[in-house]
Structure 1
């Protein structure tokens, strides 16, 4: 018999370690393909941050790579909120089918609510910052290209 999966722990693992796939490994085991793939966009995004530090903000590859990190973090934050909002019946039916639908691992407590709140705050901020960075750099590039064409 497998150990019951706790909703609060899954919420926090998704928020804190989601970009590395930790929540997927906790919930589905080490055979989960998406869990192994999640570190790829995370690493590419971190490489984009490193490129900005090395080459400056005019580096076009960073415009593509940095949002990968931001979108991965934002998606994991959204998944943490979804896990936290699941009813105990739905949680236990999905992740603890051997338990009673009202069993304790599927219950929501204050730590779950705090995890969802922090996920909402950080996920939204990261998503908006990623979009702002990418769009600003893209439009600045378009203006520069327009100036080159007009000369």
Structure 2
């Protein structure tokens, strides 16, 4: 029996390393194994910022991968948490009755959805802002070099 609340929390907390995919689909899920790749690349972008400073162009590209991955996993937590009991059980608990308790929503599920909405939106917008700000600053600096 796959519990909706557990899946929502795993998507929110451990989604960027694929924990929710392994919980729902098993260790043979290729997407679960692929999720840590953009997470690791984004963490590498953060280490580049620490090593080379904020003006490193590669970090402008690498860090948003982590942000988009976290936001996508937060979106999956929201989808899991808001899925109806019947749809959840039909999709992930096929051998159980449609009204099985594993697909029910409780306060822990709602709390996971609310936190996922808050954190996922914040991370997504921060990723956009960081990349676009650094890109436009770079363009302005290049424009000044050309005009001089």
Question: Do both proteins adopt the same fold according to a TM-score greater than 0.5, normalized to the shorter chain?
Answer: yes
TM-score normalized with structure 1 length: 0.97
- Name the counterpart of 2:45: 48
Q: Compute the displacement of 1:91 (Å).
A: 0.1
- Name the counterpart of 1:114: 111
Aligned equivalents of 1:99, 1:78: Cα separation in 2: 26
- Name the counterpart of 1:127: 124
CA RMSD of aligned residues (A): 0.3
| Match for residue 16 of structure 1 among 3, 13, 18 | 13
Matches within 5 A, 1:2-151: 4-151=1-148
Structure 1, gaps ≥5 residues long: none
Aligned equivalents of 2:99, 2:62: Cα separation in 1: 43
2:2 counterpart SS class: coil
Structure 2, gaps ≥5 residues long: none
Q: Compute the displacement of 1:138 (Å).
A: 0.3
The ranges of structure 1 where at least 4 consecutive aligned residues each deviate by more than 2 angstroms after the TM superposition are none
Cα deviation, 1:102-135, whole Å, max 9, x if unaligned, reads: 1000000000000000000000010011111000
